Amino acid sequence: MARNSYLFCGVDIGSTMTKVVIIDINGEICSRVVGPTGAEHRRLANKVMEEALEQANLSFDAISYVIATGYGRINVPFADRQITELTCHAKGVASLFPGARTAIDIGGQDAKGLKISNGRLVDFVMNDKCAAGTGRFLEVLADTLELRVEDLGGISLKSTNKVSISSICTIFARQEVISHLSNGVAIEDVVAGLHDAIASRVVRMTRRLKIEPDVVLTGGVAKNIGVVSAVKEHAGCEVLVPHDPLLSGAMGAALLGKEFTMEAVAKGEPIQRKERRLKEATFYT
């Protein structure tokens, strides 16, 4: 196979969103698909893979290597290998920001702090036991405020006197929000307080690793400009955000697939791939 014909795929099944990235030998993205994670991970993996292949006008057998990562990685039947989201996120972040030393990933149901050295994960901390400090925290409280999650960032920037949300439990935080509103606090000050609360929790957690620039914020919550601003304030340094902060894990998985493939090629060894059963694994309904 000619070197420039190799293609690599990363499939990241997160708790709330699933991402697929296909890259070429130069690390350029050929296609990307992002969609909500449903209950049937295996069916979903097949669906998003089909969409990514169609977008790039590729057949499945054109893909040299597939790596699955994320919460549902074991449910990707056509993956050649499964790798933890921590390793893949670190790889993806380092590919986008070579100077990255610290990454904070705020997902739908967990938050992670990563320590990166020479482009690789060296340590991590994680909150996966409580919704506080995650995207779910904002979803629940946006519903309480009768606002769309995607509107929270812009609303919070109008704040002139953010309130304190002291509860670390989402249920009690909701009660605090209702209390503030009943006392006439401006909705933008409440939203700014929520952003400050989530930023305070994830930065405090990440400080256990010793935060060092460059600091990169990823995950769906990184699309919220209010949270980005609050993380910057609590971290005390500039915070970098990828163009598409949802894709760092899938991108890292694809890049690791490239590494495994090219190492085998350089040694003249066969590429260690899982036997692929297209009818059963990729296109079943």
Q: Which is more confident, 74 or 273?
A: 74
Give 105-118 pLDDT, tens digit per residue: 998 888 999 999 99
Domains 3-88+247-282 and 100-240 share a fold: yes
CATH says 3-88+247-282 is which class?
alpha beta
In tens, the pLDDT along 117-166 reads 998 999 999 986 676 778 888 999 999 999 999 999 999 999 999 999 98
Q: What is the DSSP string of the chain?
A: --GGG-EEEEEEE-SSEEEEEEEETTS-EEEEEEEE--S-HHHHHHHHHHHHHHHHT--GGG-SEEEEESTTGGG-TT-SEE--HHHHHHHHHHHH-TT--EEEEE-SS-EEEEEEETTEEEEEEEE-S-STTSHHHHHHHHHHHT--GGGHHHHHTT-SSPPP---SSHHHHHHHHHHHHHTT--HHHHHHHHHHHHHHHHHHHHGGG---SSEEEESGGGG-HHHHHHHHHHHTS-EE--SSTT-HHHHHHHHHHHHHHHHHHHHTPPP--PPP-IIIIIS--
Q: In the chain, what are the domain boundaries? A: 3-88+247-282, 100-240
272 has a pLDDT exceeding 80: no
The yes-or-no verdict on residue 213 having pLDDT over 50 is yes
* 172-187 pLDDT, tens digit each: 889 999 999 999 999 9
Per-residue model confidence as pLDDT tens digits over 52-65? 999 999 999 899 99
Q: Range with the lowest mean pLDDT among 29-38, 52-61, 212-221, 231-240?
A: 29-38
Work out the percent of the chain whose per-residue pLDDT is above 70: 92
pLDDT at 280: 45
pLDDT, the chain, mean: 90
pLDDT of residue 279: 44
- Which one has a higher pLDDT value, 37 or 157? 157
pTM of the model: 0.90
The confidence score (pLDDT) of residue 39 equals 67
CATH 3.40.50.10490 fits 100-240, yes or no: no
